[in-house]
Amino acid sequence: MIKKIFISVFILLCIWVNEAFSQKNLLGIQDFKEPLGEWFEAGEVQLNNENEKQLDVIAGKGVLFNGEKGRTNHLITKESHGDAKL
């Protein structure tokens, strides 16, 4: 009986830890702190057919684009995530 209770508590603890440390989905530009610089949200970004050093931006949501020059402020999320190993 005690073994079953221990296993149940252990499973619940594992579920709680997984939820607490799981990745957060960023939904858009609103999830980042100011200043945003020249960053904006687009639907798609693709290579310009006439000038391969430029990108064409298609309106919409889901892709963050770092402006016309491609050089602007770093994006920093509003929520703290801690260290990451890449």
Whether residue 6 is contained in a domain is answered as no
Summarised one tens digit per residue, pLDDT across range 30-84 is: 888 888 888 888 888 888 899 888 888 889 888 888 887 778 888 888 877 666 6
CA 4 to chain centre: 39
56 in a structural domain: yes
Predicted confidence at residue 53, as pLDDT, reads 82
* Residue found under tokens 């298609």: 58
In a domain, 8, yes or no: no
pTM equals: 0.55
Instruction: Summarize the confidence of residues 8-23 as an average pLDDT.
Output: 58
Mean pLDDT, to the nearest integer, of 11-36? 69
Residue 30, in any domain of the structure: yes
pLDDT value of position 13: 57
Q: Would residue 31 count as lying in a domain? A: yes
Domain ranges, residue 44: 25-78
Question: Does residue 9 lie in a domain region?
Answer: no
Please state the domain count of the chain: 1
3-state helix, strand, coil in the chain (%, to 5): 25, 25, 50
Q: In this structure, is residue 85 part of a structural domain?
A: no
4 within some domain = no
